[in-house]
Structure 1
Amino acid sequence: MKSALVFQTDFGLADGAVSAMYGVAHGVDCDLRIFNLTHDIPQYNIWEASYRLIQTVTYWASGTVFVSVVDPGVGTDRKSIVAKTITGQYIVTPDNGTLTHVKRMCGIVEAREIDENINRLPNSGASYTFHGRDVYAYTGARLAAGVIDFEGVGPKINVEDIVELPTVEPAKDGEAVTGTIDVLDVRFGSLWTNIGRELFMNSGINYGDRVEVSIKNDTREVYRNIMVFATSFAEVHVGETLVYVNSLDCLAVAINQGSFSKAYNIQTGTNWRISIRKAPRIIYE
């Protein structure tokens, strides 16, 4: 049985780039089942491409082939690779940090560099700027259709050598738990952190407790306030803030039916640090 083929890019859908990738894949096998993860990754944003993969990959069946193309270094000497996850999915991508979260949070058991002498769209050798079509979609389709097996991708590379983007580990810091704001819940503007639920709740905080949230951009504090640690948005009024556990079992900060990111002009990345602790008691004399 053929495997599913899932595409992710920063190309958008305003022109024919994604359609060309579909065409190449169907040229390999017209019966392939092709799906979209997203084509709305912000341009050149490798970090977000990495995060969207870990948000999705493990929910697909073993053997599913992902093609992720966010490739500001296209045409350079960066490698083109296929990685196999612990849970059996394959990811076809430039080796530029796109596999950071999958490597750290899921695990990669094997990786191979794409041999472009075999796995490149015929008669495309003069093009150096659309590897998404000529190399990644073509190789991904051949792998999903069973034209090649994993060994047919190319030579093995060391998993340890796969490029990773810099990360900051969440930690317990006195009474607080600290971490980074990794990504936004795009449609709703919630802040998704890298602080795991278990680490947070081991600090003695339970659902229903009030917590103090501090957010810094580098060393400048841009937000500090007290809110509830809730199981769902329904536990606070519309317009109120809350801390909750997101779909990746990590903490997130939100405004019920509002965008926290827009309201406080907060973005993502390792320079955006967040600290959460049980709210101090205020005694009035």
Structure 2
Amino acid sequence: MATVPIITLTTDFGAGSTYPAQMKGVILSIAPHARVIDITHDVPPQDVLEGALALEAAVPAFPAGTIHVAIVDPGVGSQRLAIAVHTDLGVFVGPDNGLFELVLRTADLRNAVALDRPAYHRALVAPTFHGRDIFAPVAAHLANGAGLDVVGSAIGTLTRLPIPEARRVGVEVHGEVLTADRFGNLITSIRTADLAEWDMPSLEVIVGGAASAVMGRTYADVPVGELIAYLGSSGRLEVGVREGNALRQLGAGRGTGVIVKPG
């Protein structure tokens, strides 16, 4: 039985807007057999880093060969390129603004193209809605079997997105909060690999220079209302509150410092 192509959508359009539905309509008009899955449409407006983090978390759950369309595009209509990138994880279609930075760091990049072939776009391209008029139809043509070399011209470099990284400072690991999930758990720039050589139960995690969290495996390792740090499903160090909200309790946000040190 032939495999049904999967196309995912990640945008900042808002789940309550018609924009995602317009994109799906274009995709299904060209590739009616495609399966279209929403990752999220609730990326904060114009927040490219937040979009990159959403892709980093979600893409590994999908089969290789999935076509991932992502639009968080404050530069729409400018000189920024529209691109498609082929990797071992799948194909990524969207703006060349660093949105795919995090997933590409762990992928085997095979080739990338600028989407400069109007035959694979909608007949009329709105300068403010490339998601519907360029990215959606290109994804649909890819789902129908078109190669990257058909829908665009090869490019050698992609725009990078500066993303804070963890760093060693003496016996400590320093990082910062990148985002928070809907439960108020803080997701940091410190990756699981940054702590690989440490004895986890003995570590102390300091947030914002004051609040201290113990390391644990699950929220149940601390009493209700207490802080806990743990290696989250995102592959990053996270800080939460059992049955609470660390974002509100700590008044933390993107850029708040996080230090891991021996307890």
TM over 0.5: yes
**Secondary structure of 1:277's partner?**
strand
Answer yes or no: is the 8 Å Cα contact 1:210–1:229 preserved in 2.
yes
**Which string of whole-angstrom CA distances, capped at 9 and with x for unpartnered residues, describes residues 51-94 of structure 1?**
1111111221121101101111111010000012233x001010
Unaligned runs of 5+ in 2: none
CA displacement at 1:169 relative to structure 2: 2.5
Aligned twin of 1:112: 113
Answer yes or no: is the 8 Å Cα contact 1:99–1:163 preserved in 2.
no
C-alpha distance in 1 between matches for 2:234 and 2:92? 20
**Which string of whole-angstrom CA distances, capped at 9 and with x for unpartnered residues, describes residues 79-122 of structure 1?**
000012233x0010100110111122334332111124222112
Answer yes or no: is the 8 Å Cα contact 1:229–1:242 preserved in 2.
yes
Alignment partner of 1:226 is 2:224: no
**Secondary structure of 1:48's partner?**
helix
Higher alpha-carbon deviation: 60-69 or 104-113: 104-113
Answer yes or no: is the 8 Å Cα contact 1:54–1:105 preserved in 2.
no
Alignment partner of 1:121 is 2:122: yes
Give 4+ residue runs of structure 1 displaced > 6 Å after superposition: none
C-alpha distance in 2 between matches for 1:128 and 1:198? 42
C-alpha distance in 1 between matches for 2:25 and 2:231? 40
Specify which of 240, 243, 252 is matched with residue 229 of structure 2: 243
Aligned twin of 1:192: 187
C-alpha distance in 2 between matches for 1:277 and 1:145? 52
**TM-score, scaled relative to structure 2:** 0.93
**Secondary structure of 1:47's partner?**
helix
Answer yes or no: is the 8 Å Cα contact 1:212–1:227 preserved in 2.
yes
**Secondary structure of 2:261's partner?**
strand
Letter in 1 for 2:192: R
User: Aligned residue pairs: how many?
Assistant: 261
Specify which of 151, 154, 157 is matched with residue 156 of structure 1: 154
Answer yes or no: is the 8 Å Cα contact 2:93–2:135 preserved in 1.
yes
Answer yes or no: is the 8 Å Cα contact 2:88–2:110 preserved in 1.
yes
C-alpha distance in 1 between matches for 2:188 and 2:205? 15
C-alpha distance in 2 between matches for 1:173 and 1:110? 37
Answer yes or no: is the 8 Å Cα contact 2:186–2:246 preserved in 1.
yes
C-alpha distance in 2 between matches for 1:237 and 1:86? 43
Decide which structure has the larger Cα Rg and report it.
1
Alignment of 1:136-175 (within 5 A): 136-146=135-145, 148-158=146-156, 161-175=157-171
C-alpha distance in 2 between matches for 1:257 and 1:234? 9
CA displacement at 1:275 relative to structure 2: 1.1
**Which string of whole-angstrom CA distances, capped at 9 and with x for unpartnered residues, describes residues 187-230 of structure 1?**
1111111212232241x3322x3514142xxxxxxx41332210
Letter in 1 for 2:144: A
Alignment partner of 1:274 is 2:251: no
Structure 1 residues 17 and 179: CA distance shift in structure 2, 3 A: same
